Amino acid sequence: MAEAWEPFEVRLRFPSRMEWLDLVDRVAAGIAAQLDLTQDETDAIANSVVEAGTNAIQHGHHYDARLPVDMIFEVRGDRLCVRVHDVGPGFDVAKVLSADPTSPESILAPRGRGIFIMKSLMDEVEFVMSPGSGTTAVLTKYHRAAR
């Protein structure tokens, strides 16, 4: 590997309230600065992580502030991996991924862009769901030398 990032990990646990996403946003930007990412890469990560947090709060926890959202920023070698966990039952991934919010019939829809934005801006997006243990969105951005 030509270049690599020094491994580190940042963990957040916050109540399911939207105002906490400001902190998430600042942490994402701070980590991007540590990794010497471009403005485009920094914005991509911050936009995606905020969307993942929004999904966890809105759809996973239905704004129930008693339920915490867990977020782990994990940097290892060639990648930044962000895991966003909620305790919700999950959703039909195939259905959501098959939707195209940029199509003429959907472009003016008020909702339905969150996962599309994450998929467009990150290198990999995966959702891990299992009954009883909630849903984890796994967002990955690779070091530009590894892409």
Partner 1 sequence: MKATTRYEGDVAVLVLSGRVMGGPDADAVGQRIRECLDRGSRKILVDVGEVTWVSSSGLGILIFAQARVVQAGGVMKLSRVTHRLRQIFMVTKLHQVFDSYETNEEALRSFAT
Q: Compute the least distance from the CB of residue 50 to partner 1, in Å.
A: 6
Q: How far is CA 16 from CA 26, 38, 108, in A?
A: 17, 30, 28
Q: Compute the least distance from the CB of residue 109 to partner 1, in Å.
A: 8
Distance CA 30, CA 35 (A): 9
Classify strands 134-142 and 124-130 as parallel, antiparallel or unpaired.
antiparallel
95 near partner 1 (CB under 8 A): no
From candidates 14, 20, 21, 127, binder to partner 1 by CB under 8 A: 21
Which runs of consecutive H residues, i.e. helices, occur in the chain?
21-34, 39-55, 93-98, 114-121
Q: Could you tell me which stretch among 81-89, 101-109, 124-132, 137-145 binds partner 1 (CB under 8 A)?
A: 101-109
From candidates 30, 68, 90, 101, binder to partner 1 by CB under 8 A: 101
Q: What does the block give as tokens for 45?
A: 């990560």
Is 73 within 8 Å of 24 (Cβ atoms)? no
Q: Could you tell me which stretch among 1-9, 16-24, 84-92, 138-146 binds partner 1 (CB under 8 A)?
A: 16-24
**Contact residues: partner 1, CB under 8 A:** 18, 21-22, 25, 39-40, 43-44, 46-47, 50-51, 54, 58, 101-102, 107-114, 116-117, 120-121
